[in-house]
Amino acid sequence: MNRNPHVAIVGATGAVGIEMIKTLEKRNFPVGKLTLLASARSVGKKLKLKEQEITVQELTKDSFKGIDIALFSAGGSISKEFAPAAVKAGCVVVDNSSYFRMDDTVPLVVPEINGADVKKHKGIIANPNCTTAITLMALYPLHQAFNVKRIFASSYQAVSGTGAKAIEELERQVGQIVAGKTVTKEVYPHQIAFNVLPHVDSFLPTGYTKEEMKMENEGRKIMHHASFRASVTCVRVPVYRAHSIAVSAEFEKPVSVESARLVLSKAPGLDLVDAPEKAEYPLPLYVAEKYNCQVGRLRMDCALDNGLCFWVAGDQLLKGAALNAVQIAEELIK
């Protein structure tokens, strides 16, 4: 891999694409050249990397000649169509969609957890689901110490997980309500302002949604833990960015709040914020635009024999998407 790689961002004008550009700059990623790719309607737009204006080009199957790393964040159908063309051109793809995540030939990576899996790539590396990644930042260190068996969890997911139009919808609806106007909706099936929707992604015959099953399926693959089980309810909340998850985890080895705090305080990419007596606990408002996730509200689970409850929050546009992708790119050039 080139030490100063030619990087492309596919879906450069979307919410995650813009965060990818910012993250490359903030982390001083050694970009030799940056190419921005998007659909025809975005062609000609200009975005900046370190004061250098870069014009967005149209994504085609011929876009990847000479590119070393392509960060994809344009949806599964785009990844399905264009990622193989990128690989054929000699490019390594880091894909933020769900399309390749459960492919046995594609590593699914959170660098703090299974960064070594990057070496197993055959041209494509998958970025995990945002809620899964944020949850595992706290769960995996506990798993290493105490061997997790199963979790019960509820997510509180920001509208940014749906994209830029959902952020605009929340903002518009708040304005409409404050002004006493009729609320209009385009993105979600119900009003999201001053409401919560227990509906993220499409429903499966089991009654769970696809998003809810990602925690178990992707968690098993990332943690190399084939028997891990997760029962999850995913909820969309009227928060602009940063997801939060309430977790009850059951372990094989004895766990205590004190031993868990010690483990979590040393975990990479994670801050322990756990002083409820001072009203200090992770909040999406305060974790937004931060690289580290936060964990707190630690307590013994009174409904499980060897269980621990905790609350974890993280910026879904960063650790849940752009930051994790750039960290994977950093692993590639090590």
Q: Which residue has the tokens 């590593």?
A: 107
What span, in angstroms and rounded, lies between the C-alpha atoms of 11 and 236? 23
The token duo for 200 is 């993220």
Provide the annotated active-site residues.
Answer: 130, 243
CB atoms within 10 A of CB 217: 17
- Asked if residue 15 belongs to a known ligand binding site, the reply is yes
Whether the pLDDT of residue 15 is over 90: the answer is no
Tell me if residue 163 falls in helix, strand or coil: coil
Residue 39, phi then psi, degrees to nearest 5: -70, 170
C-alpha distances in Å from residue 116, one per residue of 112, 216, 274, 312 = 10, 21, 31, 25
Mean pLDDT of the chain: 96
- pLDDT tens string 107-162: 999 999 999 999 999 999 999 999 999 999 999 999 999 999 999 999 999 999 99
- Report the pLDDT averaged over residues 12-16: 90
What's the DSSP call for residue 181? P
Residue 253, phi then psi, degrees to nearest 5: -90, 150
- Asked if residue 60 belongs to a known ligand binding site, the reply is no
- Asked if residue 101 belongs to a known ligand binding site, the reply is yes
% of the chain at pLDDT higher than 90? 95
C-alpha distances in Å from residue 112, one per residue of 132, 168, 259, 262 = 14, 33, 20, 17
* Burial profile 234-260: b = 16 or more Cβ within 10 angstroms, e = fewer: bbbbbbebbbbbbbbbbbeeebeeeeb
pLDDT band at residue 2 under the 50/70/90 scheme = confident
Q: Residue 164: its pLDDT value, please? A: 82
- Asked if residue 229 belongs to a known ligand binding site, the reply is no
What span, in angstroms and rounded, lies between the C-alpha atoms of 285 and 216? 27
Whether the pLDDT of residue 77 is over 90: the answer is yes
Whether the CB-CB separation of 218 and 113 falls below 8 Å is answered with no
Instruction: For each of the domains in the chain, give its residue range(s) and CATH number, in order of start.
Output: 6-128+321-333 (3.40.50.720), 132-316 (3.30.360.10)
H-type alpha helices, 8-129: 15-26, 76-88, 111-114
Which of 5-9, 164-168, 211-215, 278-282 is least confident?
164-168
What span, in angstroms and rounded, lies between the C-alpha atoms of 283 and 47? 31
What span, in angstroms and rounded, lies between the C-alpha atoms of 16 and 11? 8
pLDDT band at residue 51 under the 50/70/90 scheme = confident
- Asked if residue 237 belongs to a known ligand binding site, the reply is no
- Asked if residue 161 belongs to a known ligand binding site, the reply is yes
Q: Which helix (DSSP H) or strand (DSSP E) does residue 125 occupy?
A: strand 124-126
Q: Which residue has the tokens 């929050």?
A: 313
Q: Torsion-angle region of residue 51: left (phi > 0), alpha (psi -120 to 50) or beta?
A: left
Whether the CB-CB separation of 293 and 79 falls below 8 Å is answered with no
pLDDT band at residue 308 under the 50/70/90 scheme = very high
What span, in angstroms and rounded, lies between the C-alpha atoms of 3 and 41? 33
- Report the pLDDT averaged over residues 223-231: 98
H-type alpha helices, 46-148: 76-88, 111-114, 130-146
- Report the pLDDT averaged over residues 188-197: 98
Q: Residue 163: its pLDDT value, please? A: 84
- Asked if residue 227 belongs to a known ligand binding site, the reply is no
Whether the CB-CB separation of 153 and 246 falls below 8 Å is answered with yes
- Report the pLDDT averaged over residues 157-174: 94
Instruction: Determine the distance from the C-alpha atom of residue 283 to the mean position of all C-alpha atoms in its chain, rounded to a whole number.
Output: 17
Residue 185, phi then psi, degrees to nearest 5: -135, 140
- Asked if residue 70 belongs to a known ligand binding site, the reply is no
Q: Residue 131: its pLDDT value, please? A: 97
- Asked if residue 42 belongs to a known ligand binding site, the reply is yes
Q: Which helix (DSSP H) or strand (DSSP E) does residue 168 occupy?
A: helix 164-178
Nearest to 90 by CA among 33, 6, 4, 29: 6
- Asked if residue 87 belongs to a known ligand binding site, the reply is no
- Asked if residue 294 belongs to a known ligand binding site, the reply is no
What DSSP string describes 184-199?
--SSSSS--TT--BS-
